[in-house]
A and B are shown apart, each in its own frame.
Chain A
Amino acid sequence: MTDSKKDYQKILGSVQKPVIGEAGKTGTWSSKKPFIDLSKCIPVKSGKPSCYNCWLYCPEAVITRTIPPEIDLIYCKGCGICMEECPVNAITMEEVKSE
């Protein structure tokens, strides 16, 4: 049936399937990127799952809830919320030169 389908019979309603990075590599939206000072980071210091404000407040879900938390810079838009919400100021936004 697939072979005998005319071209318009393969197109019906407008449908989507999921992909990562639908808008492309959104990390390119900002040259400022967040960096975590692991010496200050609470879950790193205690060795226990704790705090995770950065994971909680990230609108893009590019931070993992691990020890240490890891930030996916390919998709991070550099909004700076994680920096603002870190209770111990462990995160700084730094200028990153693009390749």
Chain B
Amino acid sequence: MVKVMDLPEEEFIYPGTRACAGCGMALIYRIALKALGAKTLITVPASCLTVLHGMQGFCSTKISVYHTPFATTGASASGILASLEDKGLADEITVLAFAGDGGTTDIGVQALSGAVERGTNFIYACYDNEAYMNTGVQRSGSTPLGVKTTTTPEGKLGHKKNMPKILEAHGIPYVATGIASYPLDLYEKFKKARNIHGSKYFHILSPCPPGWGYDPKDTILIGRLAIQTGFWILYEVENGVFKLSKPSARYLDPSKRKPIEEYLKTQKRFSTLTQQEIDVYKTYINNIWAEIKSRIENQDRI
């Protein structure tokens, strides 16, 4: 297990960016870049990250970034990689695509699916703040049930699109979930992904103070509650083999999970949730964990 002193001290993002105070994505990005190092090329679609990178003429990172239109992240990464392969530099330089949930689950799905189906050797990290935050909190395919956004003032109908599962179905060598609140777990996973050849997918939950409706100081706490209630699960699927990550492993036992209300009450975006919807959440969480339990057992049997 990675310890805090294992992380390199070098920062790849200069201070004084345009990210909100307490931004989950800023922390995720900082940790990911520490794991991948200076020999990285990054492509970023329209997202909050575009703004963090800085506006005209001046950027805030120590790594080169190619900004690309919204729907094209997967294709853009394919293009960068193709050029590096043509120049014989693909073994030296890591290609990272870093997109939000809107740019991944909705408009970016086609390009992502195409890129991984071609076996493109890159890392795709989706930082999921569960809505189109950069444009002012509109719902996305990744918004959970019942959440209040500007386009779903009475709460979203329908569950969150399960992107890690969709990417698993593409048969890629590595799929992992992460969260801003467990940076050491995230660092370890990015370091592992860097050394795997093929398409690697990360889906990282990113608490967002203005979008989720909480005080910025609680970003890490809220993410931790997401894990402790079993709502968000940290795991890896490496060559089809499922493995629960350490922070989530103990919640396989339902008695250890905190009640979902503890997570929901911390954020204003859940304020329109009815009791019926909360019960749906409870069933939903139980079902997901039951599926995981059965999957682990079947795996061990084999």
Contacts and interface: CB of A to CB of B under 8 A. Distances in A.
A52 B215 contact: no
B93 to A, nearest CB: 18
A83 B216 CA distance: 11
A49 B5 contact: yes
B15 A60 contact: yes
A20 B22 contact: no
Decide if the interface of chain A is mainly helix, strand, loop or mixed. loop
A19 B218 contact: no
B221 interface: yes
A27 to B, nearest CB: 8
Contact of B16 (A26, A52, A58, A93): A26
Contacts of B23: 59
B169 interface: no
A57 B15 contact: no
Given A16-B56, A22-B54, A22-B60, A62 B217 contact: no
Chain A's interface size range is 35 or more
Contacts, number: 114
A60 B56 contact: no
A16 B58 contact: yes
B17 A57 contact: no
Contacts of A74: 15-16
Interface in A17-31: 17-26, 29-30
B4 interface: yes
B11 interface: yes
A78 B217 CA distance: 9
Ranked 5 nearest A-B pairs via Cβ: A80-B217, A21-B16, A79-B22, A75-B15, A77-B21
Given A60-B15, A80-B215, 15 more contacts: A16-B54, A16-B56, A18-B62, A20-B60, A21-B14, A22-B14, A22-B16, A55-B4, A59-B23, A60-B17, A77-B20, A77-B22, A78-B21, A81-B22, A81-B219
7 contacts: A15-B57, A20-B60, A22-B17, A22-B18, A77-B21, A80-B215, A84-B221
